[in-house]
Amino acid sequence: ARDPPGSPAEQHRPAPLASRTGGGGVLTRSACPFLADAPWCGHCQALAPEFTRAAGILKNESAGLRLAKVDATEETDLSTEFGVTGYPVLKLFRDGNRTHPIDFTGARDAEGIVRWMRRKAGPSAELLQDEARAQEFIASQDVVVVGFFKDLQSKAAQGFYDVASDAVDVTFGVSNKTELFQKYSVTPDTVCLFKKFDEKRVDFPLDAELGLNKEELSRFIVLHSLELVMEFTSQNSPKIFGAKIHNHLLLFINKTLETHLEILGSFQAAAPPFRGQVLFVLIDVNGEGAQVLQYFGLKSHEAPTMRFINVETNKKYRMATDEFATQAVGSFAQAVLDGKVQPHLMSEEVPEDWDKHPVKVLVGKNFEQVAYDETKNVFVKFYAPWCTHCKEMAPVWEELGEKYKDHENIIIAKLDATVNEITNLTIRGYPTLHYFPAGPDRKMIEYKSARDLETFSKFLENGGTLCVPHVPPPWPLAPFPHGAEGWVPRISPPPGR
C-alpha cells in the first residue's frame, strides 16, 4: 500500500525515473543516485523503506543530493544502458556524468546511504588549519585519520583524498600547516591514524620515491581501526567480517564472572604480533555471543575456552587442553598458522538407536564407517533442523527409507550438518543430498535432480545415475544465512526459512 498523498513519507519518496519521460535529465543533476529494483524482489522490498528514509533526510540538505528509483523490469532501456543484471542496484551519477556512474559501496540502510552520499558529494577530508581545530577534530571520534602533506595538490595528497572518499565509515582530515607537523612530530607526507584505544596512534609514512599506495593505505586503515580484541556484537559484526582477515581466534567467556574477565588480559597481550594475520575476538556466552555457541558445538558452561577458525576454509581448531597464559595463546595461534594443528571436527554422540529406523541417523563419529562401507550404497540427506525445505522433503525421505529398509545393500540416512562436520565435505545449502556407492574407491555423487520418491528410486536402482535429463529441484537450496562469510552465518535460520 502506498502512503497517502501529501504524507511525509510520500513527500520524501525517491522520484521514479523512466526513459520515455526523460529520466535521463534527472541524472544530470549534481549528485543523483538511483536505485534499480524489481517489484517482486524481496531484497528490493527490504531496502525500499531505507532508501525512502534516506531521501527524506537528504531532501532538506543544500548539497544538491537527490535520490531516484527505476523499475528495472519496466525501464529495460535504462537497465541495459547501465548494465543492471540483478536487483537491487544502486549507482551514483555525479556532475551530469551519465557514462561513468559510481557503484554504491556503503551500508544498505538509511544511515549508510546518507553517510555514503555526503562523503561522495562533499570534501572527503576536512582541512585542518590550526592546532585548536586539529585537537578538537582528533578528539571527536574513536578513530580519525589525518594526512599531513607539504603540497595538498600533490599526487600523494590526491591519492589520500581518493582513499577518504571510499572509506565512508572513517573520519578524515588533512593539513599542510608546518605548526601541525611540529605539534604531532611528523615529517611532511605522513598519514596518522588516531584512536582512543590500544596504541592511540599509528603512523603510515610515505616512501619518497614510491609515493602513496592507495591499496596499502586502505588496508592499513582497516587493520588499525579495529581493536586488538574485538567483542562480537551486532554492531561489531560487520567490522569483524569486513576486515578480510580469514583467521579468527575466539575466546569464549562469561563476562559476569570475575575469574573469566581475568583471562582477557593475557588474551589481549597475545594479540599484537598477529595483527593483520589473526583477528582476536571475544565471545560473551552470557550476551550476544550466546548465538555463536551452537556453530562451534559448545555449551555456555564450557566457557572459558578458545576456538580458532579459518573462515575461508571453514576449518576449526582447538587446544588439546585450554591454556590462557599469553605465551600459550600465542603459541597455539602460531601453530595453527604453521599447519601444526589438526582441524577439530564437531560431532554429536552416536544415538543408541541410530540404525533402528528406516532412515539411519548419522553423526560425525559414525559417518566414515557407514558412508564408506564398501558393501553398501548409502544415500545421505544433509539437513538443518530450521530449514523449511528440509521439513518439506522429510516425509518423502521417510518413504524412501521405508521402501529400502530391508534392501541388502542400500542405506537411506540423514545427518544434521549444523552440528556434525565431515572431513573434506563442505555443505553450502540445505538440503544437500550425496550418494556414496559401494566399493573401495570412496566415491561421492551429489544428487541434483527432482526430489520425489519415484526419481529417488530410479536413481538408486540405476546405481547412482539417472537416464533422464537433469531436472532442477522444485525449490532451491536454503542457503546459509548471509552467505559463507564467517562463523556467524550458519547458526540461525535466514528469514522465511
Q: Which of 135, 237, 254, 234 is nearest to 194 (CA)?
A: 135
Catalytic residue among 32, 192, 390, 467: 390
Residue at grid coordinates 580458532: 308
3-state secondary structure of 8: helix
Measured CA to CA, the distance from residue 191 to residue 127 in angstroms comes to 14
Q: How many residues appear in the chain?
A: 497
Residue 332 has a CB neighbour count (10 Å cut-off) of 22
Measured CA to CA, the distance from residue 1 to residue 496 in angstroms comes to 21
Q: Which of 142, 143, 226 is nearest to 191 (CA)?
A: 143
**Is 32 an annotated catalytic residue?**
no
Q: Which of 484, 480, 378, 396 is nearest to 435 (CA)?
A: 378
- DSSP secondary structure, 226-248, as one string: S-SEEEP-TTTHHHHHHS---EE
Residue 160 φ/ψ, nearest 5 degrees = -60, -45
Measured CA to CA, the distance from residue 200 to residue 353 in angstroms comes to 59
Q: Which of 115, 91, 112 is nearest to 103 (CA)?
A: 91
Report residue 473 as a C-alpha cell. 529441484
As to burial, measured by CB atoms within 10 angstroms (0-12 exposed, 13-18 middle, 19+ buried), residue 166 is middle
Report residue 84 as a C-alpha cell. 543492471
Measured CA to CA, the distance from residue 490 to residue 475 in angstroms comes to 20
**Is 467 an annotated catalytic residue?**
no
Catalytic residue among 32, 192, 387, 467: 387
Q: Which amino acid is at 99?
A: T
Measured CA to CA, the distance from residue 451 to residue 381 in angstroms comes to 11
- DSSP secondary structure, 64-131, as one string: -B--EEEETTT-HHHHHHTT--SSSEEEEEETT--SSPEEP-S-SSHHHHHHHHHHHHS-SSEEP-SH
Q: Which of 301, 321, 304, 306 is nearest to 258 (CA)?
A: 304
As to burial, measured by CB atoms within 10 angstroms (0-12 exposed, 13-18 middle, 19+ buried), residue 235 is exposed
- DSSP secondary structure, 379-427, as one string: EEEEE-TT-HHHHHHHHHHHHHHHHTTT-SSEEEEEEETTT--BTTB--
Report residue 254 as a C-alpha cell. 562469561
Q: Are 479 and 428 in contact (CB under 8 A)?
A: yes
Residue at grid coordinates 523503506: 49
Residues assigned a catalytic role: 41, 44, 387, 390
